[in-house]
Amino acid sequence: MIRILLVCLILTSCVTLDRNPQPHCVINAIYCAWTWGTFKQDKVRIAVTKIDPRTDHSQAQALIDGKWTPLTEQWTGDHMEIVPWTRHYPQEPYRYLYLKDWIAEQLRYANQGG
């Protein structure tokens, strides 16, 4: 099931109105939120930002010390590490979904042949 989920999510990538994949923000956001939430036990969510009229970008956030903090992945030279970061784009996100809801939405999108 997890393999199927990952394949579907990789194929969906960033959401664009013309369905052309952008950099893999969807799978990266899930990876960051899932990993951080699993190991740090903080609440996590996905922030969705409109970066141009046709493209949305997703980025994980964790509730760290009472503040929603963006996350990103970083190569240490040995392995990937999830770290607190800044927003990938300067625009304020326009919607937020908890990880479970984001995954369900992405699966519905992938099942539509998107």
- Looking at the structure of the chain, the number of domains it has is 1
Which pLDDT value is given to residue 111? Answer: 85
Contact 9, 30 (CB under 8 A): yes
Per the model's pLDDT, the better-predicted residue between 17 and 61 turns out to be 61
Give the pLDDT of residue 14: 57
Domain span at residue 78?
2-111
Give percent above pLDDT 70 in the chain: 78
Average pLDDT over residues 12-21: 47
Consecutive H or E run containing 42: none
CA–CA separation, 61 vs 82, rounded Å? 11
Helix orientation angle between 25-40 and 2-12, rounded to the nearest 10 degrees:
140
79 φ, ψ (degrees, to nearest 5): -160, 165
More confident residue, 10 or 61: 61
Per-residue pLDDT band for 16 (boundaries 50, 70, 90) equals: very low
CA 12, CA 14: separation in Å to the nearest integer?
A: 6
